[in-house]
């Protein structure tokens, strides 16, 4: 048996050497006399909302020698607006250097020691798949497919057609297909409860039309490199750029105004702005009356919105009322359209009416909101919380309200705060009051997703297919249409039902219930009653998908397209919980990631330049389909995801037949047969070699892109979107998309008056769910960050690193030389001096959960009391594998368990408990010397 020892210390250092079979691009470059061919390629990973960029790949002697941006994106129709070219960044421009570096997985590996020990046995593909299949069969027969976890993620695989095999494989097994949105903190819970969706975002060229760009919750100079030029060019054009952030980050340096706000107090700042806007009557009444629930009447006796059922026997739960200023009468708000006709809803006043329960008094939400803001969030009171001077709050509010158009540039920061939902609701309130939504030059963006409307073989069903099927088979469909439900509402309902039935489990809730995180935070989540009480009630009422009983113990974990043991918060606790119960861990990746190092089997997936694939997961900021063409054949013994899963399906079928096992039962008690598994994965249309055909068919069957032949698409590498289509991951944008024009979300609501997919069918700021009333969150408010991890003086925040896309480039030699070469924590000079530390000193960071060691990067750009660590660092880059996310307790927010209320029910993106980290409290001290030896990341034992 060949035992391979992985040099983990070597991985921690600059990976400047090449492994067996590697090559030196520098040497090749000196001798290159031109190129054999040039093909189009891209990097299908989530790099902070800019997604894939079009690259030329220069191939010489079967090697990708270099890459560069193509620069062939078409100019916009408006000649005043800059074109998108060139799109790309340093990460993409050095991927060729990574294709054969020491971290590359070259052939199938099996663990030959303890998990995490770095000892491996090389296997043939057949032996690896046979052993994996046998273990899977045992798990399926004994515990069912619900015991199989799919790690998911936002990295290499699963973002394109060649990754479709993973979804088809797990669906054929009956194993759940997870949504990782809540687990990675991308959940936008505040947007979800306010707009009924989280998918909405404008294109980057749209920023050029704004009078004011608010960079609030993001750092696009680091995370949106390919699109940042639009911000700079808009500024040259007269647009003001205001950056709101605790630290003076890279984006703040390019702004006209930096507003330094205390960490996690952004809701108080936004509500201070709203108080000025309302108090000085700077709001846009027409927008507020038509688009929001602020005119809706609230009962003063119980705090509930006035409903038809309050006035009529058998009345509706979802019909609401306003007072018409013209007649003084209380009338039902329109439901099928946002258009008010001659109706002018009152925003103030109080009146009495006769309800079924007797006489009651009612007031508009707007009046209650104004009272709340006046009492709690005057600029002076907001200043005391936020640290932003009251005159600056007033001036900024007036600037926002008087601007012709304002856009926000944010990423997924708010989902990583415990009370991030309140922050988003408050910022949305400012935009809605000023009418800066749904028109050119004015938009609010959350999760900017744009997907092709396609349905081929094992790929997901298109939204149009679902609607057509529902029209003929679902008895509810006709009623929905009669009630004015839009296609977006109907598809959202089906998405929520897929979560409720367990077909799409939510990974965030899994980490709480199966990963041990719940035990960490019960004492840390301030609420009206114990957290367990909220959890018990949510499960009893079936508000969350785990309601059918205690979650099954996970027995197998497949990590494809992610790196869960790196990205997970409370890392050490999660590892202890999962490693003890998992019988099988399989990672498919092109490089040796943290999760791979803990796996039982590591299967070599080929990289981006080694197969043909089309993007399935795009971004509104760059509305183009992308092609990643095959520049070279898969290196070493690697294979595409598609090929691996087709092979594994066939091997499962083969081994089950040889062992005389015909079937097993899934979580619903249905019998599932092993026979025909391979056919179900491929739908009988494709073989394991057919990833190019799969990509071609997906492209040709996409209904919302410009007309191009497949060969022309391969030649160009890009194709423009021409419509949203009915893809589930696009419809929330709710707009018409025209080639060459900026994408402006929500215009179907603002211009065509289509209702929003909320309970009130408006932008909803008043939530009269029992828990929202109990927790005083029925209107937007501010709550202090919990002291997650213990009562310590420093608050640990972070962000998306400039020098990596998640962890794919985090140990790249070139990019490490552009920074400090190892993990660092940025701290303020005063905090460092108090502890006797200087720049570059080793320090130990600790709290009640864990500790880790890191280098200090002393910077006055970081505020006192703050520590910043940018994400992406692998566990093995820290001494003893003591990862910095181990200190993140991630207390559960009980409000995110709420359900059973119109649109507030779990869907694949939000409305379920999310994982947070920005509230983490730590302290630091100078680290003396270094520990000897490597330590196991789970329990600290010295590894041999």
One-character DSSP codes across 328-363? --EEEPPSS-S--TT--B-SS--EEEEETTEEEEEE
Instruction: State yes or no: pLDDT of 930 exceeds 60.
Output: no
Task: Report which of residues 598 and 666 the model is more confident about.
Answer: 598
pLDDT 10s digits, 853-874: 999 999 999 999 999 999 889 9
Q: In this structure, are residues 323 and 353 in contact, taking their beta carbons and an 8 Å threshold? A: no
* pLDDT for 600: 98
Q: Indicate if the pLDDT at residue 916 is higher than 80.
A: yes
Considering only the C-alpha atoms of the chain, give the largest distance between any 2 of them, rounded to a whole number of Å. 91
Of residues 925 and 87, more confidence is placed in: 925
Instruction: Reply yes or no: is the peptide bond before residue 172 cis, omega within 30 of 0.
Output: no
Q: Is-contact 867 845, C-beta < 8 A?
A: yes
Strand (E) positions, 73-232? 109-111, 119-122, 148-150, 212-216
Summary mean pLDDT of the chain = 89
In DSSP notation, 463-524 reads HHHHHHHHHHH-THHHHHHHTT--HHHHHHHHHHHHHHTTSS-BHHHHHHHTSS-HHHHTTT
Helix (H) or strand (E) holding 652: helix 641-658
Q: Per mean pLDDT, which range of 518-532, 743-757, 898-912 is the poorest?
A: 518-532
3-state secondary structure of 618: strand
pLDDT tens-digit map of 1-39: 334 444 444 433 333 333 333 444 444 444 445 889 999
Rounded average pLDDT over 526-539: 85
Average pLDDT score over residue span 750-768: 98
Q: 């680290």: which residue's tokens?
A: 927
pLDDT of residue 561: 80
**Which residue carries 């008087």 as its tokens?**
402
Provide the pLDDT for residue 943: 32
- What percent of the chain is predicted at pLDDT more than 70? 91
Confidence label for 498 from pLDDT (cuts 50, 70 and 90): confident
Residue 168's pLDDT band, with cuts at 50, 70 and 90, is confident
The label of the residue with tokens 């038509």 reads 290
**Residue 920 pLDDT level (bands cut at 50, 70, 90):** very high
The residue written with tokens 């909302």 in the block is 49
Q: How far apart are CA 899 and CA 459, in angstroms?
A: 30
Give residue 800's pLDDT band: very low, low, confident or very high (50, 70, 90): confident
Q: Indicate the DSSP class of residue 206.
A: G
pLDDT band at 508 (very low <50, low <70, confident <90, very high): confident
The answer to whether the beta carbons of residues 805 and 43 sit under 8 Å apart is yes
Distance CA 480, CA 539 (A): 28
- The arithmetic mean of pLDDT across residues 97-124, rounded, is 94
Q: Is the pLDDT of residue 940 over 60?
A: no
586 pLDDT more than 70 = yes
Whether this model's pTM surpasses 0.85: yes
When pLDDT is averaged across residues 556-564 and rounded to a whole number, the result is 91
* 358 or 522, higher pLDDT: 358
- Exposed e or buried b per residue across 265-293, where buried means at least 16 C-beta atoms within 10 angstroms of its C-beta: bbbbbbbbbbbbbbbeeebbeebbbbbbb
3-state helix, strand, coil in the chain (%, to 5): 35, 20, 50
For 270-314, how does the pLDDT look when each residue is reduced to its tens digit (9 = 90+)? 999 999 999 999 999 999 999 999 999 999 999 999 999 999 999
| Per-residue confidence band for 551, with pLDDT thresholds at 50, 70 and 90 | low
Per-residue pLDDT at 31? 45
Residue 414 reports pLDDT greater than 90: yes
pLDDT tens profile 719-757: 999 999 888 789 999 999 999 999 999 999 999 999 999
Give the H or E element holding residue 190: helix 189-195
């Amino acid at each position: 048996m060949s035992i391979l020892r992985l040099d983990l210390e070597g991985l921690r250092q600059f990976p400047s050497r090449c492994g067996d079979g590697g090559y030196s691009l520098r040497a090749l470059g000196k001798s290159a006399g031109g190129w054999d061919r040039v093909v189009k390629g891209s990097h299908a990973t989530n790099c902070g909302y800019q997604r894939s960029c079009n690259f030329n790949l220069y191939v010489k002697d079967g090697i990708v020698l270099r890459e560069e941006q193509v620069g062939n994106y078409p100019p916009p129709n408006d000649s005043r607006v800059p074109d998108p070219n060139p799109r790309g960044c340093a990460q993409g421009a050095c991927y060729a250097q990574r294709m054969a570096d020491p971290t590359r997985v070259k052939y199938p590996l099996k663990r030959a020691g303890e998990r995490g020990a770095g000892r491996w046995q090389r296997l043939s593909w057949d032996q690896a798949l046979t052993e994996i299949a046998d273990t899977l069969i045992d798990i399926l027969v004994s515990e069912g497919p619900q015991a199989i976890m799919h790690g998911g993620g936002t990295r290499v695989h699963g973002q394109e057609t060649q990754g479709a095999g993973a979804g088809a494989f797990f669906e054929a097994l009956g194993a759940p297909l997870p949504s990782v949105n809540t687990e990675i903190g991308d959940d936008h819970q505040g947007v979800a409860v306010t707009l009924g969706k989280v998918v909405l975002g404008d294109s980057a060229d749209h920023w050029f039309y704004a009078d004011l760009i608010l960079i609030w919750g993001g750092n696009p100079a680091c995370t949106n490199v390919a699109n940042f030029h639009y911000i700079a060019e808009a500024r040259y054009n007269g647009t003001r750029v205001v950056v709101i952030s605790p630290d003076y980050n890279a984006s703040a340096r390019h702004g006209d105004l930096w507003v330094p706000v205390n960490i996690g107090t952004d809701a108080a700042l936004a509500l201070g702005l709203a108080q000025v806007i309302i108090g000085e009557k700077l709001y846009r009444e027409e927008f507020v009356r038509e688009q929001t629930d602020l005119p809706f009447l609230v009962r003063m006796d119980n705090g509930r919105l006035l409903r038809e059922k309050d006035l009529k026997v058998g009345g509706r739960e979802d019909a609401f009322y306003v007072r018409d200023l013209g007649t003084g009468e209380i009338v039902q708000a329109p439901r099928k359209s946002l258009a008010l006709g001659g109706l002018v809803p009152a925003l103030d006043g109080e009146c009495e009416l006769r309800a079924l329960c007797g006489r009651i008094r009612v007031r508009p939400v707007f009046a209650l909101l104004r009272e709340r803001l006046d009492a709690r969030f005057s600029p002076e009171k907001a200043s005391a919380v936020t640290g932003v001077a009251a005159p600056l709050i007033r001036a900024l509010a007036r600037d926002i309200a008087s601007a012709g158009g304002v856009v926000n540039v944010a990423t997924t920061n708010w989902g990583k705060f415990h009370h991030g939902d309140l922050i988003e609701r408050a910022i949305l309130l400012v935009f809605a009051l000023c009418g800066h939504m749904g028109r050119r030059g004015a938009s609010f963006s959350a999760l900017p997703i744009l997907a092709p409307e396609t349905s081929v073989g094992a790929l997901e069903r298109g939204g149009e297919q679902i609607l057509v099927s529902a029209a003929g088979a679902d008895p509810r469909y006709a009623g929905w249409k009669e009630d004015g439900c839009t296609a977006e509402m109907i598809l959202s309902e089906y998405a929520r039902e897929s979560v409720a039935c367990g077909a799409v489990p939510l990974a965030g809730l899994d980490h709480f219930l199966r990963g041990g995180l719940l035990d960490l935070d019960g004492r840390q989540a301030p609420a009206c009653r114990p957290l367990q009480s909220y959890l018990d009630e949510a499960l009893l009422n079936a508000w969350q998908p785990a309601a059918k009983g205690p979650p099954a113990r996970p027995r197998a974990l497949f990590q494809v397209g992610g790196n869960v043991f790196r990205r997970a918060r409370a890392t050490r606790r999660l590892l202890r919980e999962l490693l003890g119960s998992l019988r099988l861990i399989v990672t498919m990746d092109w490089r040796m990631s943290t999760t791979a190092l803990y796996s039982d089997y590591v299967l070599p997936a080929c990289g981006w330049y080694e197969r043909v694939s089309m993007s399935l997961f795009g971004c509104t900021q760059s509305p183009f389909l992308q092609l990643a063409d095959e520049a070279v054949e898969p290196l070493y013994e690697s294979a595409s995801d598609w090929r691996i899963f087709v092979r594994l399906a066939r091997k499962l079928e083969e081994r089950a037949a040889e062992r005389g096992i015909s079937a097993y039962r899934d979580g619903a008690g249905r019998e599932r047969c092993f026979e025909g598994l391979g056919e179900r994965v491929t739908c009988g249309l494709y073989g394991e070699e057919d990833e190019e055909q799969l990509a071609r068919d997906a492209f040709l069957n996409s209904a919302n892109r410009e007309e191009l032949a497949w060969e022309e698409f391969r030649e160009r590498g890009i194709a423009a979107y021409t419509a949203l289509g009915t893809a589930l991951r696009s419809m929330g944008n709710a707009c018409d998309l025209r080639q060459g024009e900026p994408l402006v979300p929500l215009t179907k609501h603002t211009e065509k008056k289509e209702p929003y997919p909320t309970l009130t069918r408006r932008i909803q700021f008043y939530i009269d769910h029992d828990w929202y009333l109990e927790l005083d969150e029925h209107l937007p408010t501010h709550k202090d960050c919990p002291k997650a991890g213990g009562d310590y003086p420093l608050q640990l925040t972070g962000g998306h690193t400039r020098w990596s896309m998640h962890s794919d480039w985090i140990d790249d030699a070139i990019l490490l030389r552009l920074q400090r070469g190892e993990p660092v924590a940025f701290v303020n000079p005063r905090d460092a001096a108090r502890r006797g530390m200087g720049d570059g000193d080793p320090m130990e960071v600790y709290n009640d959960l864990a500790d880790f060691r890191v280098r200090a990067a002393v910077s006055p750009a970081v505020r006192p009391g703050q520590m910043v660590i940018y994400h992406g660092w692998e566990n093995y880059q820290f001494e003893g594998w003591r990862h910095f996310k181990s200190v993140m307790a991630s207390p559960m927010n009980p409000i995110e368990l709420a359900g059973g209320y119109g649109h507030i029910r779990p869907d694949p993106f939000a409305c379920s408990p999310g994982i947070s980290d920005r509230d983490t409290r730590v302290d630091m001290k100078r680290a003396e010397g270094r520990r000897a030896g490597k330590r196991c990341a789970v329990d600290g034992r010295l590894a041999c």
